[in-house]
Each structure stands twice: as C-alpha cells, then as structure tokens.
Chain A
Amino acid sequence: MSDLTKTPAAPNILTAAFRYLAGQLRQIGLFIALIVIVIFFEVATSGITLKPINVSNLVVQNSYILILAIGMVMVIIAGHIDLSVGSVVAFVGAMAGVMITQWHVPWWLAIVLCLGIGALVGMWQGFWIAYFRIPAFIVTLAGMLTFRGLTQIALQNQQISPFPDEFRALGSGFLPDLGGGVSLLEPLTVGIGILATLLVIAQGIRQRAARKKFAVEDEPFAWYLAKLVFTSILILLITYLLASYNGTPIVLIVLGVLVVAYSAIMSRSVFGRHIYAIGGNLNAAALSGVKTKRVTFLLFVNMGVIAALAGLVFTAQLNLANPKAGDGFELDAIAAVFIGGAAVTGGIGTVTGAIIGGLIIGILNNGMSILGVGSEFQQLIKGLVLLAAVAFDVYNKRRNGGR
C-alpha cells in the first residue's frame, strides 16, 4: 500500500532495472509470445511462415481484423463492448456491392458513402448506449442481428461480384513497383521501410530526451537501446520480405496510418484521455467535467466508421459481397484486444497491444492452416490462448497487489 512512500535511499542499478522490467512484464510478455509463436511456426512449417509470399498474405489477410481491433480497443478501454462489428462489415460490404454494381456509383464515391453509412450505424448504436443508457452489450447484440438482417435484405440473399479493379486494390492491391518488376528488392517498399525505421528511431530519441528532461524516465538505457534496435530490425526485416515479393500492400499503408493516428489520439489527445478516464472511473470522470455521454457517443460513431472501413477492405479483398461475410469477426477483434492486454473492466489497453494481439491470432491461424491443423483444433487452441493471456493478466495484477 504505502511502499511508494518508503523507497529505499539508493537502490542499486540492477534492482532498479529488474523492477522496471517486472513492471513491464505484460508488454514484454506479449512481444516475446509473438516472437516465440513466429519462431515455432517457422520451424514447424520448415520455413514457409517467413517466406515473402506468406508474410505478404499474413498482412493482407489479417488487415480487416487488425483494423477492427483498433476501434474495438477504444470501445473496450471505455468499458463497453461492440458485438455488432461483424454484421456491420457485412452490411457495408453489401451496400458497396449494391452501390457499385446496381446503382453504378463511382467506386470512390461508394467508399465515401460507405464510411458515411458506418458513421450512421455508429450514431444509431451510440445514441442508445450513451443517451438512452442501454448497456452496449445489449445494443450491439441487437445491432448484430439487425445489421445482419439488413445485409440479407440489401443483397436479397444473393452474392454480388465482381468489383472494379480500383476498388479491389483497397483490399488486395500493391503500391506500384518502381523497379519495373526486375529489381531484386522493390525500391518503393525499401524506401518506405527505411523511412519508417528512421521515424521510429527519431521518435524514440525525442521521447526519451523529453522524459529525461522532466525526470520521469525510469527505463534503463540498455533496455531502451535494445528495444529501439530490435524494433528497427523488425521493420527492416518485414520490409525486406515484402520488397522481395510484390512490394507494399496498399492495405498495409492504410493500417499503418490508422495505427499511428489512433495511437496518437489515444495517448495524446483530449478525446483519448477522456476515453481512458471514463473506463478508469466513470464517476470521477463525470465529476471532472468530462462529457461522458458525448464521448461515448463519438466512440461508437468512430467504431462504426472503422467497421465500415474493415468492411470495404474485406469486400475488396474477396471481390465479393456476401450475406454471410464478417461472421465472427467481432469475436476475433475482441480476442485480439484482450490478448493485447486490455482490461475487462476498462481503463487499460493500447492500440499497439491490440495490434500485437491481432497478429498473434493471425499467425496462429496462418501457421495452423499451413500445418493442416483442423478448424476444430484451431478454435480450441485460440480459445486457450485467449484464456491464458487474460489469466496471466489477472495473476499479474493480483501479484502486484492490485485491487
């Protein structure tokens, strides 16, 4: 309880470092888990997992779950849940199909309109949750059914296909090959990769300098350096793998922009801060002047738009609007968020955590498919991984004398 008030005078540097790492156990554990899983499948599939084409597929095929996880982690941090996203994905896909193939709306306008539909869906659900105070679980469970129903009505239980190439590029296209298809490594991808690496390094140095200046830095230097080097190598490795196949998938750029933007929103914007405040202690937030209803409403509008984007990406990738699309996506997104360290009670979670959680699920899916593991065992294993991740969290919290 009051251990903070009795900090020993001069803890030696090793115990300080150890204490820091123990505090970061969850984050480190998540990262290590991801690496262990990758290495395991790399060995088990005799090198197929990290083949350029498979890495490219991994990114593309998991993109929509990762996009959903970004919105979902925000909803879960605020202490809510959204069960409707799978149906919203299908509904938006259906509307895109109807607009493009039946109404002959230009593809770009269809994308804009579909994002607008997502916002409307979010407003509808956000209204009931924020202003009518129906629990999000109920509202979005109802949404799950209603939007699935609307999907089937819109599609008249038919599938719609094909979509124009420009639209399909959103899901399965690549950035243009500046090497003209003859270079060993695609130059644009290499450029983007190097740029991203430099940005990560610059940001890391800047942040540490600022934290040092205000004397809140407790991260040991060796650890900081190791993290920076490791992250850089990781980005360059992925760059290399992508560049030696088809280059950069367009959806990876979309995803990258979303991750950067939403990480910033969650960590540095007033809106993001309010979301954490609401999830951490709703009463205290309300008594601090946070407009809790408005924030909740906007949160669901945001989730609706993100779900719409995921729906567009998914439809574009499959080149098909299907009444059954998106079935179970909400559960994958929720699992990603919780594996990524978000608290069931709200107030805790990060966008990067959710992305890593999503990647863990994606790699499990991918690796087990390559190994030919049956879907029954895939479900079983994913379930156990989710349980283990949350159990680890709960155990960790209790050990730290949490509430």
Chain B
Amino acid sequence: MTINILEMRNITKTFPGVKALQDVSIGVQRGHIHAICGENGAGKSTLMKVLSGVYPHGSYDGDIVFENETVAFKNINDSEAAGIVIIHQELALSPYLSIAENIFLGNEQQNGGWIDWNKTNLEAGKLLARVGLKDNPITKIRDIGVGKQQLVEIAKALSKEVKLLILDEPTAALNDEDSAHLLDLITHLKGQGITSIIISHKLNEIKAIADEVTIIRDGKTIETLDMRADTVTEERIIKLMVGRDLESRYPAHTPKIGEELPRIENWTVHHPLDHSRAVVKEANLFVRAGEIVGIAGLMGAGRTELAMSVFGESYGYNISGSVYKNGQKINTKTVAAAIANGIAYATEDRKVYGLNLIDDIKRNISGAALGLLSRRGWIDENKEVTVAEGYRKSMNIKAPNVEAITGKLSGGNQQKVVLSKWMYSNPDVLILDEPTRGIDVGAKYEIYGIINALADEGKGVIVISSELPELLGICDRIYALSEGRITADLSREDATAERVMQLMTQEREKDHE
C-alpha cells in the first residue's frame, strides 16, 4: 500500500477570458518519479505554479493535500517551507555570486546577521558532493556550464530539505552527457527518498526514469499511466497528448503553389553565449510562392533561432549555410539586407521585438519600409497616413484612427499592426513566428484568413507555431524540427498530429562518430 505524498484535487484556475486549468487532479506517490506530459500551453507550468504558491491560495479552486494535510500556500516561501521546491526552466541563479552563495541565497548561513563563510562553504561542499559536483564552492556561477548550474539548483533545493522536487524541462538546455548525468541524479535522489515531478517533452527520458506519467491536454488531466507496465509506449503517450480533432477553426483554402522562393541550405547556428552548442543543425528548407509552410517543434527545438538567424543574423553565433533565391545566393547578413531581399520576420514576442508600443499605428506600420514613403530622406506623411489607413480597413484593425497608440490595442489588433508592417515591406516570404500567440479565438480566425490571403497573392508564408492543430489546419507542408534538426518534411496529407508529434519528440539522431 503506497501513500501519496501529494494530492491535487479538482484544481481549476482561470485567467481573464481563459480557463487554464479545469478540474485537474493528480496524485504523486511518495518516493516516485512522476512525469507530467502535454503540449505547449496545455497547462503544465500553470499547474506547477499553483502547487508552488506562485499563484497563491484563493486564486484557484480545488485542494492541495501535501503529506496528508490540506495546504494553502500564499507564496513560494510557504511551499518551500513545506518542502516543495520548483526548479524552473530558466535557472534562477545569480551569475556573479559563487556556487555557495547561490545555494544559500535567501537562507544565509549566518551568525547574528553576519555571514559565516566557513560554514557556508563547508555546507555547500557537502551538498555539492550529494549532487556529484566536484567544483569548488567559491567558483562563480558564470564560470560553470549550464549543466552544472542545473546541479547547483538541485543542491540549493537539497539545502532546503526538499521532500518534493519539481523540475520544469530540466534537460531542455543540456547536452546529452549533462542530461544523462541529471537523470541519474534524479534517480539517485529517489533512492534517498526524495519524490520528483518532472515536466518533460522528451518521451525517451520519461520512459527511462519515470514511475508514472500524467498527461495533460487543454487544461485537463487526461490519464495517468503506470510506466512500469509494458503496454505504455511513446505512441500511446503522443496520442493522449494530441487527442483532439481538428475542428472547423480554420478557414478553407485551396493553395495555388508556384515557383520556389528562397531555399535555405545547410543552415547551422550556434548559441550566442554557449558557442560550442549548435541550436540549429544543417537545416535545409524551402518555400514556394503561394505556399504556407509550417515549422513544428517543441520549445527549445530551435524554431525562433532558425528564423531569426536567417533574418539578418539577428540571433546566433558562427552562422553557416546559404540562402538562395531564384538560384542566386542572397545576402541576409543584416536585417536591412534581408528585408531588401524580400524576407520579412514577424516576431513571436510582439511587445518586446515587434512594436514600438509608445508610438502610433501608422508609424509602426511604416517602420520597416520608410524607403517606400520617403524621398531624399524626407517622409511623405500624407502618404503614410493613406497607407496606414488602408491597412486599418483591410486588416480590420479596431482603432478610432491610425494615430492610436499601439500599446493600448488588444493583442489581436497589435498582431494585425505587426502583420501590416511586414506586408507593407512587400516581401516574397513572410516568416510568422507564433502569429496567434495570446490572442482570442475570433482574432485567430481573422489572422488565418490573412495568412491565406497572403499566400493567394503569391507570397511564401512560413508559420512557426507551438500549436500543432493550428499548423495542421492551415499549412500546405510542415517541417518537423527536433533539437535543431529538421527531422521531416511532410505534405498536408501525410501530416497527422501523431506523426508530427513523434517527429518533434524523436530522439536525437546520434551524430555519426
């Protein structure tokens, strides 16, 4: 008879307009490794934030029972005091402090307000030994690799006498060796009686270490499977993750596919900080006129990195490969050159990378193509208003006039401004990164219509999306991207949710030694 260390019962969490979690229940057995699986946006992280008190008690419905007691965490400190520690995907370490200082940050080994450095470093050393890290505790965090930083996070959790360790995509940023070490460590900690919840997209890892897996889809628990039973296969998990049917949420569209527009060959990009890590590996892809091409990949697969590195090398280090148009190699070294060669990139984060939120609609729309509006460096403001007004009407941007400040528009209308901006730059190919992120269903439908219209005008459209159904619904062809590698080029007919998901999650092909 096993006892559950944690029971979350009927958790419902709503954000304005969105039900992020609906009646989610999950039981985690003491001393087990429990995996949580689901598509991007399924609600995994929200659930963990509810559990760890990031969303305080009262902001959600349902009960959390931890060690047989109903708990009501008001913040992270409460959950940590109870022995629940969450390690986020983005590590929360201070780069210029030492390992020991980071481990005891907020929990300093002190003596009446003065830090006891000997004790700090001694205790840190003991904790490092437990996670198998041999580095000196006074080493600065910035001087160790991201794999070791992950271990420091775990050591920090151990210092808080953790009973339940939550790891959110712990291996997303790690190489194979570091991943293997981390998974060993989690198994090892299990031997010491520490329960873990691991959120992961990597089914092979889940298969290797998890005792149970719970699948979440659209904010609901679908099923909890016992991984030790032989009947559980990766295919079955994928089927449960994808689940739903394609509803008629996508406008019908008959593609008229023409000539090949850019072709990208042998595109390799390295991480700007970790120069040895390739985030995009020898990618080959092309788009034809009138074609809508999807890039499917999980978070961290290198989708945005691929797009931004092609668009004027806005991301990455040591980029190699070529972009061809009409058989000619074209220059994409700077954003201006990429735009001049007919490439447009609408960012996934419109507030940070897409719009000048303190400026108005017309100036945002004209921002990437002032050359079309100006003579000898002077802008024709009347023409600018006419152009912007045209887009406001044709794109149905809901604002009193084109001098409305973009920061005050709704997400959907902001996205339409971004699309207008890139349409006005008159590109051959538009790369749309998460074009429907954070906008409501009605606006999504409108955006799909715009994408179809762009293709009908003879433009090539590349859509990057975390929402697999969206890609299946609108794309003529889909590339699956897994860990920086393009693993498949699927036609609309061949692309089923299960198939694409499998290719997205497929284990990295081992580099031939």
**CB within 8 Å of B: which residues of A?**
1-5, 7, 210-211, 213-216, 218, 268-271, 273-274, 276-277, 280-281, 283-291, 343, 347-348, 401-403
Q: In the docked arrangement, what's the CA distance between A280 and B345, Å?
A: 19
Output the least CB separation between B108 and chain A (Å).
32
Are A287 and B379 in touch, CB under 8 angstroms? no
Chain A residue numbers with a CB within 8 Å of B353 are 281, 283-284, 287
| Residues 351-389 of B at the A interface (beta carbon under 8 Å) | 352-359, 363, 367-368, 370-371, 374, 377-379, 381-382, 385-386, 389
Chain A residue numbers with a CB within 8 Å of B379 are 268-270, 273
Is B314 among interface residues, defined by CB-CB distance under 8 A?
yes
Are B413 and A5 in touch, CB under 8 angstroms? yes
* Contact with B367, one of A4, A215, A284 (Cβ below 8 angstroms): A284
Q: In the docked arrangement, what's the CA distance between A280 and B421, Å?
A: 16
Contact A403 to B335, CB < 8 A, known contacts A280-B358, A287-B345: no
Could you give 15 example pairs across A and B, Cβ below 8 Å? A2-B410, A210-B382, A269-B379, A273-B379, A276-B363, A277-B367, A280-B356, A280-B357, A281-B353, A284-B352, A285-B356, A287-B353, A289-B334, A289-B338, A291-B334
Chain B residue numbers with a CB within 8 Å of A276 are 356, 359, 363
* Contact with A268, one of B352, B354, B357, B381 (Cβ below 8 angstroms): B381
Are A270 and B377 in touch, CB under 8 angstroms? yes
Chain A residue numbers with a CB within 8 Å of B352 are 281, 283-284
Are B401 and A273 in touch, CB under 8 angstroms? no
Is B24 among interface residues, defined by CB-CB distance under 8 A?
no
Q: In the docked arrangement, what's the CA distance between A2 and B374, Å?
A: 33
Are B335 and A280 in touch, CB under 8 angstroms? no
| Residues 377-405 of B at the A interface (beta carbon under 8 Å) | 377-379, 381-382, 385-386, 389, 398-404
The 4 tightest CB contacts between A and B, nearest first, are A280-B356, A288-B368, A214-B385, A289-B336
Chain A residue numbers with a CB within 8 Å of B339 are 288-289
Are B356 and A4 in touch, CB under 8 angstroms? no
* Contact with A286, one of B314, B381, B402, B409 (Cβ below 8 angstroms): B314
Are B368 and A289 in touch, CB under 8 angstroms? yes
Are B389 and A348 in touch, CB under 8 angstroms? no
Q: In the docked arrangement, what's the CA distance between A151 and B336, Å?
A: 41
Is B487 among interface residues, defined by CB-CB distance under 8 A?
no
* Contact with A273, one of B363, B385, B399, B408 (Cβ below 8 angstroms): B363
Chain B residue numbers with a CB within 8 Å of A214 are 382, 385-386, 389
Output the least CB separation between A33 and chain B (Å).
23
Are B336 and A3 in touch, CB under 8 angstroms? no
Is B311 among interface residues, defined by CB-CB distance under 8 A?
yes
Is B407 among interface residues, defined by CB-CB distance under 8 A?
yes
Contact A5 to B385, CB < 8 A, known contacts A284-B355, A289-B336: no
Q: Which residue of A lies closest to B389 (CB)?
A: A214
| Residues 402-450 of B at the A interface (beta carbon under 8 Å) | 402-404, 407-410, 413, 421
* Contact with B385, one of A7, A216, A268, A271 (Cβ below 8 angstroms): A216
Output the least CB separation between A318 and chain B (Å).
37
Is B347 among interface residues, defined by CB-CB distance under 8 A?
yes
Chain B residue numbers with a CB within 8 Å of A269 are 374, 377-379
Chain B residue numbers with a CB within 8 Å of A343 are 358
Q: In the docked arrangement, what's the CA distance between A347 and B364, Å?
A: 13
Contact A281 to B357, CB < 8 A, known contacts A287-B335, A289-B339, A403-B407: yes
Q: Which residue of B lies closest to A278 (CB)?
A: B356
Are B382 and A1 in touch, CB under 8 angstroms? no
Q: Digitize B219-257: 1 where CB-to-A-CB distance is under 8 Å, 0 elsewhere.
A: 000000000000000000000000000000000000000
Are B335 and A1 in touch, CB under 8 angstroms? no
Contact A273 to B370, CB < 8 A, known contacts A214-B382, A347-B356, A348-B358: yes
Q: Which residue of A lies closest to B371 (CB)?
A: A270
| Residues 309-367 of B at the A interface (beta carbon under 8 Å) | 311-312, 314, 334-336, 338-339, 345, 347, 352-359, 363, 367
Output the least CB separation between A296 and chain B (Å).
15
Q: Which residue of A lies closest to B398 (CB)?
A: A5
Are A216 and B377 in touch, CB under 8 angstroms? no
Output the least CB separation between B10 and chain A (Å).
31
Output the least CB separation between B15 and chain A (Å).
14
Q: Which residue of A lies closest to B16 (CB)?
A: A1
* Contact with A216, one of B336, B368, B401, B413 (Cβ below 8 angstroms): B401
Output the least CB separation between A317 and chain B (Å).
34
Given contacts A1-B408, A216-B385, 8 further A-B contacts (CB under 8 A): A4-B399, A210-B381, A218-B401, A218-B403, A270-B377, A274-B370, A281-B357, A291-B336
* Contact with B400, one of A4, A288, A289 (Cβ below 8 angstroms): A4
* Contact with A284, one of B336, B354, B381, B386 (Cβ below 8 angstroms): B354
Contact A287 to B314, CB < 8 A, known contacts A214-B382, A216-B402, A218-B401: yes
Q: Which residue of B lies closest to A292 (CB)?
A: B335
Q: In the docked arrangement, what's the CA distance between A4 and B403, Å?
A: 12
Chain A residue numbers with a CB within 8 Å of B358 are 280, 343, 347-348
Q: Which residue of A lies closest to B413 (CB)?
A: A5
Chain B residue numbers with a CB within 8 Å of A287 are 311-312, 314, 335, 345, 347, 353-354
Output the least CB separation between B404 and chain A (Å).
6
Contact A288 to B377, CB < 8 A, known contacts A4-B400, A214-B386: no
Q: In the docked arrangement, what's the CA distance between A347 and B352, Å?
A: 14
Chain B residue numbers with a CB within 8 Å of A1 are 408, 410
Are B408 and A4 in touch, CB under 8 angstroms? yes
Q: Which residue of A lies closest to B421 (CB)?
A: A288
Q: Which residue of A lies closest to B400 (CB)?
A: A7
Chain A residue numbers with a CB within 8 Å of B385 are 211, 214, 216
Chain A residue numbers with a CB within 8 Å of B335 are 286-289
Are B378 and A347 in touch, CB under 8 angstroms? no
Contact A270 to B354, CB < 8 A, known contacts A4-B408, A214-B389: no
Q: In the docked arrangement, what's the CA distance between A347 and B421, Å?
A: 19
Chain A residue numbers with a CB within 8 Å of B400 are 4, 7, 218
Q: Which residue of A lies closest to B347 (CB)?
A: A287
Chain A residue numbers with a CB within 8 Å of B402 are 216
Contact A270 to B401, CB < 8 A, known contacts A2-B410, A3-B408: no
Are B347 and A277 in touch, CB under 8 angstroms? no
Output the least CB separation between B272 and chain A (Å).
14
Q: In the docked arrangement, what's the CA distance between A4 and B379, Å?
A: 27
Output the least CB separation between A234 and chain B (Å).
26
Q: Which residue of B lies closest to A215 (CB)?
A: B401
Chain A residue numbers with a CB within 8 Å of B371 are 270
Q: In the docked arrangement, what's the CA distance between A215 and B363, Å?
A: 16
Are A215 and B359 in touch, CB under 8 angstroms? no
Chain A residue numbers with a CB within 8 Å of B314 are 286-287
Q: In the docked arrangement, what's the CA distance between A251 and B402, Å?
A: 39
Chain A residue numbers with a CB within 8 Å of B389 are 214-216
Output the least CB separation between B119 and chain A (Å).
39
Are A285 and B367 in touch, CB under 8 angstroms? yes
Are A271 and B336 in touch, CB under 8 angstroms? no
Output the least CB separation between A274 and chain B (Å).
8
Are B367 and A288 in touch, CB under 8 angstroms? yes
Chain A residue numbers with a CB within 8 Å of B374 are 269-270
Output the least CB separation between A375 and chain B (Å).
38
Chain B residue numbers with a CB within 8 Å of A210 are 381-382
Q: In the docked arrangement, what's the CA distance between A281 and B351, Å?
A: 9
Output the least CB separation between A330 and chain B (Å).
26
Q: In the docked arrangement, what's the CA distance between A280 and B356, Å?
A: 5
Chain B residue numbers with a CB within 8 Å of A401 are 408
Q: Which residue of A lies closest to B339 (CB)?
A: A289
Q: Digitize B6-25: 1 where CB-to-A-CB distance is under 8 Å, 0 elsewhere.
A: 00000000000000000000
Q: In the docked arrangement, what's the CA distance between A268 and B338, Å?
A: 25
Q: Which residue of B lies closest to A401 (CB)?
A: B408
Chain A residue numbers with a CB within 8 Å of B407 are 402-403
Output the least CB separation between A153 and chain B (Å).
39
Q: In the docked arrangement, what's the CA distance between A3 and B400, Å?
A: 10
Q: In the docked arrangement, what's the CA distance between A211 and B367, Å?
A: 20
Are B356 and A271 in touch, CB under 8 angstroms? no
Q: Which residue of B lies closest to A402 (CB)?
A: B407
Residue among A4, A215, A347, A401 having the largest count of chain B Cβ atoms under 10 Å: A4
Contact A4 to B354, CB < 8 A, known contacts A214-B386, A270-B377, A286-B335: no
